Amino acid sequence: MFVDEVTVTLRGGDGGNGCCSFRREKYVEHGGPNGGDGGSGGSIWLEADLDTSTLLAYRFKREHRAERGQHGQGSDKTGRSAHDLILKVPVGTQVLDVDGVQSLADLTEPGQRFCAARGGDGGRGNAKFKTATHRAPTRWEPGFPGLESTFRLELKLLADVGLIGFPNAGKSTLISRISAARPKIADYPFTTLEPNLGVVDRGGYRSFVVADIPGLIEGAHTGAGLGIRFLRHVERCRLLLHLVDGTGYERDPIDGIVAIRDELRHYSAELAKKPEMIVLTKTDSLADGETQQRVEAWATEHGLPFLAVSSVRGDGLDQLKHRVGERLDELRAADPTV
């Protein structure tokens, strides 16, 4: 099950109590306070992990608490500090406040950590309160409580290329032909219910990552169909491949392009400005070249690169990988941080 958003409550461990103790040993002179300090409570860290691909583990266990520190003991023994609790999350997880408004951390690198709940410090034992004028203090401190916070975790897949388009535009078939990904493929809409990632080999020991996003429909920004729930996964992509069904069985190809671009604009103005390539699919089913000419003319008019492919026959797939790879190199050279 693919889970890309959860709300969790995290609490650091409480610190151990300080100890109130006095040295009383037979034949030992000069007894005095010897209560040790309490140990610190464990903190909770969120760590980006390449081996974790979903937030499923936090869907059913939404509360996590670190261990508390041990109490201090006599003979000036300090309590053991608790171990920190490390929670693994997928690379690309964004940590937000409980309202999902303020971003607190963006874990985009493997091993990157965020301290979500700091453990409490241990209390001081009575030995720490001894002074020249107060030789037998009975004062000690309780451990400090660990901090507790509630966070919203949202996963945004890290991919170089995002596939967008209406349902049945051929996104799943394309990613299955150019990568080792094996998404569900069928001749009915919404066969893809969760994003799929595939690594495309460009040759020369170079590759790029493609994300297959579940299909959009008109009115998605108002919640129609699967809505825009999965569009966050293409926000990090450098390049969008807009797949258009060339058969025109369900809608005119150009009308479909305009509708999808409108949905992107309604979702995010920044996403709508991302570099885009128009890819006409299912060219093996076209009766003539009129549709391809119309779509190519529209793309040229709007300054967008155009490609035509048949994922079934394999027509144009090598050219697509080459063109996409070149475009990604250009984008990286222009802005390595994108």
Confidence of residue 69 (pLDDT cuts 50, 70, 90): very high
SS3 9: strand
pLDDT of residue 52: 86
What domains, with CATH codes, occur in the chain? 5-155 (2.70.210.12), 161-334 (3.40.50.300)
pLDDT of residue 331: 87
pLDDT digits over 251-293, tens only? Answer: 788 988 888 888 888 877 888 888 999 999 888 887 777 888 9
pLDDT of residue 115: 95
pLDDT digits over 237-257, tens only? Answer: 889 999 988 887 777 889 888
| DSSP β-ladder status, 148-155 and 5-11 | antiparallel
Q: Could you tell me if 159 and 233 are in contact, meaning their C-beta atoms sit under 8 angstroms apart?
A: yes
Cα 165 to the center of its chain, rounded Å: 22
For residue 136, pLDDT beyond 70:
yes
More confident site: 208 or 190: 208
Neighbours of 233 (CB within 10 A): 24
CA-to-CA distance for 67 and 61, rounded, in angstroms?
Answer: 17
Confidence of residue 186 (pLDDT cuts 50, 70, 90): very low
pLDDT of residue 256: 86
Confidence of residue 304 (pLDDT cuts 50, 70, 90): very high
The string over 57-67, giving b where at least 16 C-beta atoms fall within 10 Å of a residue's C-beta and e elsewhere, is ebeeeeeebbb
For residue 121, pLDDT beyond 90:
yes
CA-to-CA distance for 251 and 278, rounded, in angstroms?
Answer: 16
pLDDT of residue 224: 53
Mean pLDDT of 171-186: 74
Q: Which token pair is 15? A: 């610190």
Q: What is the DSSP letter of 132?
A: S
- Among 4-8, 66-70, 144-148, 284-288, the range scoring the smallest mean pLDDT is 284-288
SS3 268: coil
Mean pLDDT of 32-39: 93
For residue 76, pLDDT beyond 50:
yes
Q: Could you tell me if 315 and 194 are in contact, meaning their C-beta atoms sit under 8 angstroms apart?
A: no
Residue with tokens 């108002």: 222
At a CB cut-off of 8 Å and minimum separation 6, what does 236 contact? 92, 108, 156, 157, 158, 159
Angle between helix 171-178 and helix 317-334 axes, rounded to 10 deg: 90
CA-to-CA distance for 187 and 259, rounded, in angstroms?
Answer: 22
For residue 155, pLDDT beyond 50:
yes
Longest CA–CA span in the chain (Å) reads 108
Confidence of residue 45 (pLDDT cuts 50, 70, 90): very high
Q: Could you tell me if 140 and 126 are in contact, meaning their C-beta atoms sit under 8 angstroms apart?
A: yes
Q: Could you tell me if 4 and 233 are in contact, meaning their C-beta atoms sit under 8 angstroms apart?
A: yes
Mean pLDDT of 48-67: 90
Q: Could you tell me if 36 and 44 are in contact, meaning their C-beta atoms sit under 8 angstroms apart?
A: no
Average model confidence (pLDDT) across the chain: 85
